[in-house]
Structure 1
Amino acid sequence: MKNINLLVGKATDFNILLFLFLITVTVLFFVMYSLFRNKHLLAIVQENKLKLQDLNVLIATSLNEKEILLKEIHHRVKNNLQLVISLLNIQARQGGDNAVLDFVEKGESRISVMALIHENLYQ
């Protein structure tokens, strides 16, 4: 009877150890899986971060180019308005009817106002 109780005790101890071993292996498996998954997700995040940095550089370059082009357009508009004013001044100096001179002066005045408005809008 003592031997049977001893064998039952050893079997119970073995079952407990086996159960603890299986739990430990299961926990280790989940820990390893989590680490692997986190490493994989971190690699994806890093890759996306690099892509976003490249896109940000591209966007900044494009924005800079557009700002330069916009400044050039405003400069050309200003020059063209000044050219029209100069042509009207030449026309006014050549003389002619008072009605024509008055018309040229009014046109010059209007274009000067447009040039001032343009300059104020885009500064």
Structure 2
Amino acid sequence: MLLNQVASAAGGGGSANLVSTPAQKKAAADAIEKHLEPDTKKAGDTAESTTSAAVSEFSGKDGEGWDTSPALKKAHAVWERQVKGLMGRLGSEKSALRGTSLLLRNTDVGVGLQTRQSSGLDKL
């Protein structure tokens, strides 16, 4: 990107298909809700059970377990926080996608109402 020249006739950069329709936003939010969130939760639940089994297996019944057990437990705790963060982010993105159309419509209505207000000069 050069800042010392006039933008081309097609525009000043960015993607030509950056704009999305309300239907595309709804489809993206639905994909998050119907696929990404449940699949991420399912993967997290699967990892939870298999990791717990591995931690138990490596811990040793006599108190003399492998070092792998606490390391695996610690790594899983970090991974679990990351999955929770991802789930939160997916939820936020879904809400933002669904709220954008409403926000833009309300903004348009508000601007329309402001521009239609009569001024004191209209009464003269």
TM-score range for the pair, normalised by the shorter chain length: 0.3 to 0.5
> Per chain length, whose mean CA-contact separation is higher, i.e. which structure has more relative contact order (CA < 8 Å, sep 6+)?
2
Structure with max Cα Rg? 1
Q: Greater helix percent: which structure? A: 1
**How high is the TM-score relative to the length of structure 1?**
0.40
